[in-house]
Structure 1
């Protein structure tokens, strides 16, 4: 089969000389190196409901739904999909590390040859990295992912967020946020420094610009405290101070956590937030204690410093955190989505062994459907997993199905 290494090297040298608009043509020019006639990039839209083609000159493709197509199955399962109708194409997940971006459509007379999968995956990893690297220099990639106009409040929040998914051999954190185009109050962040994984999930009061500007202050003060080396209690106190200083009549609920990926020791502060849920062996064990502090911005109402809850996780344990927009989502007849429905959904997804990011995508879809596609509040959820090498879950939920080792130069 073709030499993907040669195509990868050529793309890495050539792509930085152009803008984001040039990527489709460059990717197509790399097709012959792996025995393909066409390669088309599809990117997931913000709602992760559709795959949208990034087309070069002369190519015509339709937008594809994720839930009912082979392309969507490649995105959801993170596995290469071969056309079953005799078509000469295969679909390859586009991953940056563990972050799902979309899929590659590779048209080749050898599409049914298993030997094509390895070079296709290698090329897909390169293309995904180029998309991320070139995205800041133009708007074509950003605009392609938008199926509706984005409000300014949502623009602010999406500009704050890290990638939705991050994983190592020991830990994974993945999150999802809805609605995509008019969010304002929810935001999350995480960072791995040495063996310490720090996570924060925040729900600011209000909606629109006021909520998103408060979210911007909260997440940046969180990052500043973390980067200044403050411990968990002082981090919460610092955020509280800045909220009270700049927005004296507002507040934010929060979960602040630190997980030692060597030992599984989890330390957490719950500042007026819904309680996180501990899952073990695919089932909910209990809700973690909370709140252990007042919402951020209201700390002056108590003389007590934030209390830290400590939990020793077992290998394979998961922590599910969420904002009240998940559980308080109301159906047309006034029925809440609720914690029981949330846990039932998560149990079934875990039993089906879905990749964790796919569980999150489907969870938010279920919440949106429950409200007849009209969310009354932001709905955000986050999964934190600890899976040391001795754990049976010490894999990347098929996310390691990225590139094989580079093909050596011929």
Structure 2
């Protein structure tokens, strides 16, 4: 029976003495330790449309995610085999719940289920090494870019946390487009004790001006949160910073706090499109909003921001989005709209896809609706609460009907 232990230990001992460009070659050298002849690392591009092989290992072509077995491993998070075409198996590369790409293992025992656990273990450790080593060089960033990235987008991507985060009882996952030219849409989250804080912001303008405002907005949000301010005080602090530094600009935003122990959701909608409450694979209502003026012009309001509260049921999901999603227009002028947004998410949830895959398919649908030419940043975020003692919690897996991971 194959055992990944020796390969994993050797990689963890060898990687610190090597540059990030050498990781693929190191992984190839570890192949015999699990009875493999070749191991190849593929990274997902920024648009999550292609899998790009890392140099330094066996030569491979760039692969589409939509129509290949490696792509299926990425989208479903399940192992995929091609025993009749080279005896190989593909496994998703996951850092926690963040999908980085896939790992290909070529082995004469690829059809043996006993190889499954060693391949998963090896993939998990290689993904962690990639995550740890990527900041020491630019290889990973260069490979993920299939088009030139604009400076405004460079700034925004540098601000963001991982697109997906999950625990046993909650998941938050987001998507941004156009990934190479995004400028004004940003999000952030943090779990402190039982409270998950989430912010989704859409700053006015385009290009560098929008990304500069987005940087200040995220910085002010994090600072207020880390200073222990409550939700209303956090909105007021962001508002004051924007008004002080950019007096003629503003940002819309959703500021959310979820108590994962009780399911109590608290939210401020600062001039933002409404959030949709999903229950049992369908949208049941749009949550009230706005409850405050956009950030930066809040001083025009007679009262401070109002906090809306909702008691979530186990398994409930909150879908938030920017107007670039619903306002996307096709060639004949029809907008994507809220109904199409909800239908797209409902279909993905009914297919029991991994939650991050739901968001990837949503943004692919928005792009297709507008012939891949978005007129505005289009971002969406899905927050799901699934307490461990929920009747559905036993289903397991980072899938649409259970985010536990």
Q: Normalised by the size of structure 1, how large is the TM-score?
A: 0.96
Kindly report which structure 2 residues correspond to 1:201-216, keeping only aligned pairs within 5 A, or say none.
201-216=200-215
Q: Which residue of 1 aligns with 2:376?
A: 377
> In 1, distance between residues paired with 2:266 and 2:403?
32
May I ask how many residue pairs the two structures share in their alignment? Answer: 402
| Corresponding residue for residue 26 of structure 1 | 26
Give the unaligned 5+ runs of structure 1: 404-410
Q: Is the 8 A contact 1:174 1:356 kept in 2?
A: yes
Q: Runs in 1 of length 4+ with deviation above 3 angstroms?
A: 398-403
For residues 359 and 393 of structure 1, the distance between their equivalents in structure 2, rounded to whole angstroms, comes to 19
Structure 2 residue matching 1:90: 3-state secondary structure: strand
Distance 1:60 1:192 in 2: 41
Matched with 1:54 is 54
Could you say which residue in structure 2 is the equivalent of 1:36? 36
1:6 and 2:6 aligned: yes
Report the Cα offset of residue 5 of structure 1. Answer: 1.2
SS at match of 1:381: strand
Cα 1:169–1:132 shift into 2, 3 Å = same
Q: How does 1:175-324 map to 2 (within 5 A)?
A: 175-324=174-323
Quote the Cα distance in structure 1 between the aligned partners of 2:308 and 2:397: 28
User: For 1:334-353, what aligned pairs fall within 5 Å after superposition?
Assistant: 334-353=333-352
Task: State the partner residue of 1:357.
Answer: 356
Q: Report the RMSD for the aligned CA atoms in angstroms.
A: 1.5
Structure 1 residue 397: Cα displacement? 2.5
1:12 to partner: Cα distance: 0.9
Give, in whole Å, the separation in 1 of the partners of 2:301 and 2:67. 53
Whether the aligned pair in 2 keeps the contact of 1:122 and 1:402 (CA below 8 Å) is no
CA deviation digits over 1:166-210, x for unaligned, max 9? Answer: 000111000000001001010000000111000000000000000
CA contact (8 A) 2:184 2:202 kept: yes
Shift of 1:391: 2.2
Paired position in structure 2 for 1:111? 110
What is the CA–CA distance in structure 1 between the aligned matches of 2:282 and 2:146, rounded to whole Å? 36
8 A contact 2:184–2:214 mirrored in 1: yes
- Structure 2 unaligned runs (5+)? none
Partner of 1:408: none
For residues 321-344 of structure 1, give each alpha carbon's deviation from its aligned partner in whole angstroms, at most 9, with x where no partner exists. 000000000001100000011111
Give, in angstroms, the shift of residue 3 of structure 1. 2.1
Distance 2:110 2:195 in 1: 43
TM, length-normalised to structure 2: 0.97
Determine the C-alpha separation between the residues in 1 that align with 2:29 and 2:83. 26
Question: Cα offset for 1:401?
Answer: 11
Distance 2:184 2:397 in 1: 30
Within 2, Cα distance between the matches of 1:221 and 1:63?
Answer: 40
